[in-house]
Structure 1
């Protein structure tokens, strides 16, 4: 399959198409169950400090009993400007920072070989038994939440209830959110690229596919 650029050329979008893209690419947290405590907090790998900041806060507030951190090291990937850890796997760094913020080391499990969202989930299954998990809180960037939620849903047991804990980050010095992504050309391109990935990965069986493509934004097989 041809690799989809991070910032593909984006067609002119109607208001209806933009609304449909929002629903597919960004999860709507209001549509998910909210628990006082979750069996597991799952962190999709990355280098942004917000990943460990919101995760540590959730743990300290008693929202999770264990934290499963995923992420290896992938060369030639742009990382957050604060990254100073060289080729250290992302999950190791996230674990260190979680411990610094008060998370007990024995409550953290790490998966350190994965280099993408699919591997985050598949390799996590190799080291962790999800059989006792009934509700799972997952931490991810908001613009990747639709794709990553569909990846979890595809590969983990159907009885697990998923709840997203999303973070909004800055791209091109402007925060990208579910409500403002249409206002910046770079953000529009990024979101459109996520839509293309969801379609392509759904066809491959990597994630749960969308029911139908957006009219006017159909993608050929």
Structure 2
């Protein structure tokens, strides 16, 4: 059974809000521990902030290579600025990164995936994982927790991971770790991320939660 992007949200206590923030946004992952990462893993998406954030990471000189993921999924909800029809997300992101100054020879990509699990499955086939020890990944800020667990489920434990979040908007307001609980649509999308982590962990798609949030 699929989980809606904006599920109904039960009343949330202060403790539940804090627990959701820690699990969904994973602020601990944004503290980078190495000066330069072997790979920048870019999760697919239609929001311009995805490629703007990826370009910024490359321009900081903190990544050696860029892996872009994302195909075309029928009936997917896309950002209102998307004008690229059925073009796979990875191809659009690649072209945008070139426009933003990232050398094409520094990039590899896959354009067949339809979800985050496939982003990881197909994406990791495009690089030699045995040569990687550090990965920085770009995803929507409110998806960092889920994407991190998806990566850890399919990567060797020896690989160090860190996040480079893209602050994407819903209702023209960025979904942030400090403000999501004050906006109804943001509460729904964050709660949906939590439900996905629970459900996909049980299916083996990602590293399961160590403990579910009491009362949710």
TM-score w.r.t. structure 2 length? 0.96
> Which runs of no fewer than 5 residues in structure 1 stay unpaired?
none
Structure 2 gap segments, 5+ residues each? none
What is the alpha-carbon distance in structure 1 between the residues aligned to residue 59 and residue 81 of structure 2?
Answer: 24
Q: Structure 1 CA distance, aligned partners of 2:123 and 2:96?
A: 20
Deviation (angstroms), 1:32: 4.5
The aligned counterpart of 2:180 is 181
Q: Does 1:113 pair with 2:143?
A: no
The corresponding residue for 1:96 is 95
- SS of 1:122's equivalent in the other structure is helix
User: For residues 63 and 31 of structure 1, what CA distance do their matches in structure 2 show?
Assistant: 13
Query: What is the rounded CA distance, in whole Å, between the counterparts of 1:193 and 1:147 in structure 2?
Result: 11
Partner of 2:191: 192
User: In 1, Cα distance between the equivalents of 2:30 and 2:37?
Assistant: 17
Q: How does 1:128-147 map to 2 (within 5 A)?
A: 128-147=127-146
The structure-2 alpha-carbon separation of the partners of 1:42 and 1:214, relative to structure 1 and needing over 3 Å to count, comes to same
Partner of 2:201: 202
Give, in angstroms, the shift of residue 62 of structure 1: 1.2
Alpha carbons 2:30, 2:162 under 8 Å: kept: no
| Aligned residue number for residue 77 of structure 1 | 76
Structure 1 CA distance for aligned equivalents of residues 203 and 111 of structure 2: 24
Q: How does 1:152-163 map to 2 (within 5 A)?
A: 152-163=151-162
More deviation, 23-32/134-143: 23-32
Point out 4+ residue stretches in structure 1 off by more than 4 angstroms: none
Counterpart contact for 1:41–1:138, Cα < 8 Å = yes
Query: What is the CA-CA distance between 1:3 and the residue it aligns to?
Result: 1.0
- TM-score, normalized by length of structure 1? 0.94
Match of 2:49 in 1: 50
Aligned positions, number? 216
Shift of 1:175: 1.7
Against the structure 1 CA distance between its residues 32 and 210, is the aligned structure 2 distance closer, same or farther, given a 3 Å change threshold?
farther
Shift of 1:126: 2.2
Contact 1:33 1:161 survives alignment (8 Å): no
Q: Alignment partner of 1:138: what SS?
A: strand
Partners of 2:12 and 2:56 lie apart in 1 by: 38
- Give the CA deviation at 1:31: 6.6
CA distance in 2, matches of 1:30, 1:161: 10
The CA deviation string for residues 154-183 of structure 1, in whole angstroms up to 9 with x for no partner, is 101111100100011210122210011100
More deviation, 51-60/111-120: 51-60
